[in-house]
Structures are given as structure tokens and as C-alpha cells.
Amino acid sequence: MQKPPSLRIAVTEKCNLKCLYCPKSGDSYSLVGKTLGLEDFKKIVKAAYEEGIKFFSITGGEPLIVPEITFPLVKYIKSLGNDDGYLRLNTNGVLIEKYIEEIGRADFDKVKVSIDTFDIENYCFISGNPLRDNLEKAIRGISEIKKFTEVRVHSVIGKYNIKEINEIINLCIKNGLDLKLFDIMNFPNKNVQDREFWQKNYVALGEIAQYLEKTFGKPKIINSPGGYGQPKKVFTTPGGTKIRVQDTEADAHYSDICRKCSEYMCQQGLCNLTLSADGRLKICHPIDQDLGLSLVKGEKLKSEVEMKVALKKPLIFLLIQRQFIVVFLNLVVTK
């Protein structure tokens, strides 16, 4: 039987950085309605949990910008008894020091920190923020939280940092930090500047994966809960550091429903189940793909029954999905 997917919960569309590769509002980049409050998030989580979803990631925007939502919501998820799932935090790390005690009490299974370079000048450039101490804050925060929880560094690789890839890998190995490498996502949001940025900066990760295999041996292949997105190659160093590579050129998952979309054969296909800050469920990135997964009517949540019906749909999509091996770069650049 197909397992339910994980649920990424974007508790806010706001962020204290403006990373070059990230769409405005992060996982809520197609925000169209009023953002949800804490009680609304709790109702949705309860419905999701009762439908079998046990894997949760708190994201944004930057979730630590809204501690009044993030930490009470985490406490609520923990109260449901989530022993056979996981609860993770996605953050850029700038505010970890400020909320170190709250993060400790939250007892996350893993904290994932986005850092694309350890060079201060390039960090300011990539993050779109001139505050030079943000990188130092993130590094200090990582040093603190790794004392009590598992930490993984996330780096989006492009032409802007490809020359630093060895430094990123070596620093993570030296400090006992797991690492996940991503290629740049092309978000189909009809923004010409975003597409041009992707075309100019995209770097395929195939050669990096080959280098890691020569260095550390054959990787383990893992899939996300529910089977969404691309299988990830996981390389393990002699010291135990795990390096994951998510290469969207490798393959993607599509369903028959994808054929109706104007962005069919897009970079990720059915990638992950994400709750946007305004209460819409998305399992793919194209803005114009309406799969009837909204959990709101106007500015109010749907009924519990209606929400559960919507939460069942992604599982149905997966049961009829088809997997394709795609050379995405050639498909999108010519559009």
C-alpha cells in the first residue's frame, strides 16, 4: 500500500533574506489569500494526521520570523504522538541563536540550515542581504544546535558558488555536518527574470555525484515518504558524514493529471506536499495547476470533512503516477 507523503508547512511567506534563486515568499511563492493563524494551522495538522500523514517539516519564508506560530504549532504536533514520523525545521539559520532555547525545547528530529557559501562576500551577494554578520550568526547557531539535535546543511549549487563546492563539502565533513546539494529550481511563475536567472546560473549535479562516487563509493538511493520527488543519492564519508545529492535532471514523477498542465514535463513533476501560508495544498510548482487542493473558502478554512477529502487526493495522484527519465535542461531552455 502506498504510504502517505510528508507535509511541508509554510507558516509564513516572509523572510529576512532575499536569496537569488528563491521565489518571493518561498514555499508560498504563489500566495493569493490571507495568511493562516495558529489555530487554523492546528486544525489542518489534525486533519492531516488523522489521514495518516506523520512526517512534518516547518518551513516558510523563514519560520523563525514567526515564533508565535512556529513553536506552539510544533508543540501541538508533538502532542499528537508522532513517534513513527518526524518533525523537522527548515531555516536559513540567522535567528537560531535568538531562539536557541525554544528550538531545544521543540525537540526537532532534524534542523536543516540553508547555507550556500562560507565566503562572506558571496553570502551577502547570494542572500541579497548586505548584513555581513548573518553568515556568522548562522554558523554560530549551527554550532549550538548540533549539541542537541541532528543538523543538515542545505546548499543550492549554481554558477555563483560552483567553485566553492569542495570547500562546502570539506567544511561540513570537518564539522560533522550532513550536507544536501540541490540544483537550482526553475519555478514556473511566469516571471521572465526568474527564468533568465535559472538559464544563466543552472548547473547540473551529475558530475558532482560522479566525483562523490569516485571519492566515497557507490551511494545509497533513498526516496521521500510517499514517493514524491526525485530519488536522492546519499554518499557516506569514512567519518560518517552523509552527503545527499538531489539532481532534478535524473528523473521526475508525473501523473496523468500532469498532462493537462501548461508546464508538463517541468523540472520536478509531483515533488512534495506543501501547505502554503494561505492554506493551499500543492504537490507541484506550476502556479496555474489547480488540483482542487485548497483548504480554504474565501478567507475561512473548509470543514474538517472537506479538508480530509483534499488531503486524500495526493495519494490518489500517486497511485496513477508514471515515472519518466527526463533530460530537463533541454526541455525548459527551449521553451
Q: In CATH, what number is assigned to the domain containing residue 216?
A: 3.20.20.70
Q: Quote the pLDDT of residue 171.
A: 96
Helix/strand/coil percentages in the chain, nearest 5: 35, 20, 45
Range of the domain at 215: 7-333
Q: What is the pTM of this model?
A: 0.86
Strand partners, 112: 90, 152
Count how many domains the chain has.
1
Residue 63 lies in a domain: yes
Helix (H, G, I), strand (E, B) or coil at 219: coil
Q: To which residue does cell 493562516 refer?
A: 36
Closest CA to 17 of 103, 133, 124: 124
- Average pLDDT (315-334) is 42
Q: Which three cell numbers stand for residue 234?
A: 546519499
Averaged confidence pLDDT in the chain: 83
Residue 2 lies in a domain: no
Residue 186 lies in a domain: yes
Q: Which three cell numbers stand for residue 60?
A: 516558510
| Segment 173-220, tens digit of pLDDT | 999 999 999 999 877 655 667 788 889 999 999 999 999 999 999 999
Closest CA to 178 of 186, 187, 168, 188: 168
Q: Quote the pLDDT of residue 203.
A: 94
Q: Which three cell numbers stand for residue 260?
A: 493537462
Residue 1 lies in a domain: no
Confidence category of residue 227, pLDDT binned at 50, 70, 90? low
Give the separation between CA 298 and CA 307, rounded to whole angstroms: 14
